[in-house]
């Protein structure tokens, strides 16, 4: 079964998060969506942008503060950058919120379905038999990402998947379930479904917490055929 892309907007979903009802021999193992806060800080880099704007505000305000000027002088010094920071951060958070509200990830006993898109909603069906590996990145508070490396010649454009895609893998995009809660529990369910679907045993390897912290692209669990 090849990767399927239903590239039209859904005014009605016969089954939540899915472009069509599942066949009688297929059932949902897990279904969920990104967490807004985790998505904003990881995919949209909200915290980094907040630090950037804070630094700009400090730079603009510092001459007035150092000169011992009053509060009004400090406010006048940041009268342009402060509103810009509020608008920029607010827009970024709104984008993360809308992305999380319109994204649904579904794992069945046969495939992974990704329903994506704020304006134009599309669904990607990723058969488990075409999943070569699944790498898990653990974030704070149990949230995390599950990246799927696909085998075969079918490819999905990086821009069509973003932000549900592994960063910096442009030439060979890897679909990613971003900022999902209880990521290890979901990873275990995915591994079990993959094993049952392919009939192959899966390796599960773990890295230490220190190694995860030091690695930019940590992968505490990997679903790979033995």
CA 177 vs. chain centroid, Å, equals 5
**pLDDT score, position 151:** 86
**pLDDT score, position 7:** 46
Strand 122-127 to 4-6 pairing: antiparallel
**pLDDT score, position 12:** 64
Helix (H, G, I), strand (E, B) or coil at 117: coil
Cβ-Cβ contacts under 8 Å for 217 (sequence gap 6 or more): 137
**pLDDT score, position 223:** 52
> Taking the model in full, what pTM does it have?
0.81
Residues (pLDDT < 70) of the chain are 1-12, 202-226
**pLDDT score, position 226:** 34
Contact (CB, 8 A) for 139 and 42: yes
DSSP of 193-226: HHHHHH---EE-----HHHHHH-TT--SEEEEE-
Across the chain, what does the average pLDDT equal?
Answer: 83
**pLDDT score, position 77:** 85
Tell me whether residue 71 is exposed, middle or buried, using C-beta atoms within 10 angstroms of its C-beta: 0 to 12, 13 to 18, 19 or more. exposed
pLDDT digits (tens, 9 = 90+) for 161-202: 999 999 888 888 999 999 999 999 999 999 999 998 878 776
Cβ-Cβ contacts under 8 Å for 32 (sequence gap 6 or more): 104, 105, 180, 181, 186
Contact (CB, 8 A) for 31 and 190: no
Contact (CB, 8 A) for 173 and 155: yes
- Hey, CA dihedral for 55, 60, 66, 71, is it positive or negative? negative
Measured CA to CA, the distance from residue 181 to residue 100 in angstroms comes to 12
Measured CA to CA, the distance from residue 20 to residue 13 in angstroms comes to 7
Measured CA to CA, the distance from residue 56 to residue 73 in angstroms comes to 16
- Hey, CA dihedral for 32, 197, 220, 189, is it positive or negative? positive
Contact (CB, 8 A) for 114 and 121: no
């Amino acid at each position: 079964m090849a990767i399927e892309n239903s590239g039209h907007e859904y005014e009605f979903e016969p089954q939540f998060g899915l472009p069509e009802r599942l066949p009688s021999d297929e059932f949902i193992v897990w279904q969920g969506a990104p967490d807004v806060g985790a998505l904003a800080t990881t995919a949209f880099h909200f915290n980094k942008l907040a630090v950037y704007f804070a630094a700009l505000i400090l730079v603009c305000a510092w001459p007035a503060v150092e000169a011992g000027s009053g509060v009004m002088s400090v406010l006048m010094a940041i009268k342009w950058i402060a509103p810009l920071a509020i608008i920029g951060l607010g827009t970024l958070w709104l984008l993360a919120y809308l992305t999380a509200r319109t994204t649904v990830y579904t794992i069945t006993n046969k495939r992974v379905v990704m329903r994506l898109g704020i304006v134009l909603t599309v669904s990607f069906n990723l058969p488990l038999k075409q999943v070569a590996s699944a790498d898990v990145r653990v974030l704070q508070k149990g949230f995390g990402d599950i990246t799927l490396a696909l085998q075969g010649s079918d490819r999905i454009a990086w821009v069509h998947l973003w932000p549900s895609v592994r960063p910096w893998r442009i030439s060979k995009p890897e679909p990613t379930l971003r900022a999902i809660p209880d990521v290890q529990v979901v990873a275990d369910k995915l591994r079990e479904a993959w094993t049952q679907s392919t009939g192959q045993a899966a390796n599960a390897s773990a890295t230490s917490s220190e190694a995860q912290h030091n690695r930019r692209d940590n992968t505490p669990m990997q679903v790979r055929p033995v």
